[in-house]
A and B are shown apart, each in its own frame.
Chain A
Amino acid sequence: LRAALRDSKTQWYQLPIGVGIGFVGLMQFYKVTTREKEKEELDEVTGAAGRKPNGRERIRPDGPWQVRAMSTLPLKAMSRLWGRFNELDIPYYLRVPGFKLYSFIFGVNLDEVAEPDLRTYPNLAAFFYRKLKPGARPLDPNPNALLSPSDGRILQFGQIEGGDIEQVKGMTYSIDALLGKHTPTPSVAHGEHGRPSERHISENEGLIKTDEEFARVNGISYTLPSLLSGGRPSGSTQTESPPDEAEREDSPAAISAVRADLALGEKPWYALLAPEENRTALYYAVIYLAPGDYHRFHSPANWVVERRRHFAGELYSVSPYLQRTLPGLFTLNERVVLLGRWRWGFFSYVPVGATNVGSIKINFDRELRTNSLTTDTEADRAAEEAAARGEPYLGFAEATYASASRVLGGHALRRGEEMGGFQLG
């Protein structure tokens, strides 16, 4: 062996280039295969693709390089910083030219702003969340109309078939991903005919037959107007000097006025909840609010909000461009899902946050905090607790509204009533 090593002549020569390329290709294929295999094994362990071991959703969107680059940015931190920046007071004499410039760029109609003196808005955040003059947005007089909850542009609408909602340019996502699982109620999901509110009715049947009984459920003197406004039982709001009979909330005149307002006619109160038609379907509409739009939103119909689900997701931009390029955008972003019923059955209202407008405010839900470190931490903790229990993390925190409206089973909203809005950051 020593002689062979010593006496053998070493001769170097070039490999054909094709062999080299083939070798590099083979190595690359091996690396990719190994990586994919590791990923599949991880998914098997965690139970679902794209999840951290604790179950909290990790945002790993597919799409062009712009989307991938965006997914590496700390969008929520940037959004909070943007919000803080816009809460800085603008020098008094710069407010008018500043807000006029903003209005010019984004098309704000200053004639309909409730406070015409622009100097009273200390910063852009206050101007952004401005109110409008009374009567600037008249409600459609048809009581059977579903109203637009805010100013904006209709991006998409249609009927939900097979549980999928179509996004712009044909992208689809499932209704479960948007609203959370077990939604809507089985009567809708299974496409059964009939009245989805039978549970409510059967619980209360025999108790409530008239408006007077409606006003005395379970011995508590709730009244129709107070229920619909989410108010307290009338007994707890009595003043020292009793109001005139005509002004009392539970007076026949007041009840008749509300019944007329709700277009109830001679129907029982639960007609608000139960559809009369035999066959129903699920519909959807997507409305995009541009930066210059009025950013408070109002109730699109008379309905009862039964519960709220807060998804502490990401805060991608929701511009039409990104909606075209990022599939399932609405199921990634932070959003508040309000679930309830209207007279035709299931009803839900979903404000979806964006990078510049990350804070969603719901007027009747003071505990709700969106785009905050606290909610992120709580979501992480909830995910870890669920993982410790061996249960899947559902991805949202849920609250129910049942305090004031025991009869309706939630918080009642009237058409056109202000529900909340989007705030900067």
Chain B
Amino acid sequence: STVVLVFEAPVEQGSDAGETKGGWRWNVEKGQRVKMGQALGYV
């Protein structure tokens, strides 16, 4: 069985100073085993 998540999230935005803020960042890698409740990513 498989679960597919499709979701909208903010895109990481850069500023003139080279800083980025507020975007979606993944916290996993391909092939990684995950447990329920583990973070897939953060906004």
Contact = CB atoms under 8 A, between A and B. Distances in A.
Interface of A: 137-140, 142, 144-157, 160, 165, 175, 178-179, 184, 188, 196, 275, 277-289, 294-295, 297-298, 300, 318, 330, 342, 344-354, 357, 416, 422
17 contacts: A140-B38, A144-B43, A145-B27, A147-B40, A148-B36, A152-B3, A154-B28, A154-B32, A165-B4, A280-B9, A286-B3, A289-B2, A300-B40, A352-B3, A352-B4, A354-B2, A422-B1
Contacts, number: 179
Contacts of A280: 8-11
Given A144-B42, A153-B31, A354-B1, A298 B6 contact: no
Given A184-B8, A347-B8, A140 B2 contact: no
B8 A350 contact: no
Interface residues of B, number: 32
B4 A285 contact: yes
Contacts of A160: 6
A347 B6 CA distance: 6
A420 to B, nearest CB: 11
Contacts of B1: 288-289, 295, 318, 351-354, 357, 422
Contacts of A346: 6-8
B40 to A, nearest CB: 5
A149 B8 contact: no
A280 to B, nearest CB: 5
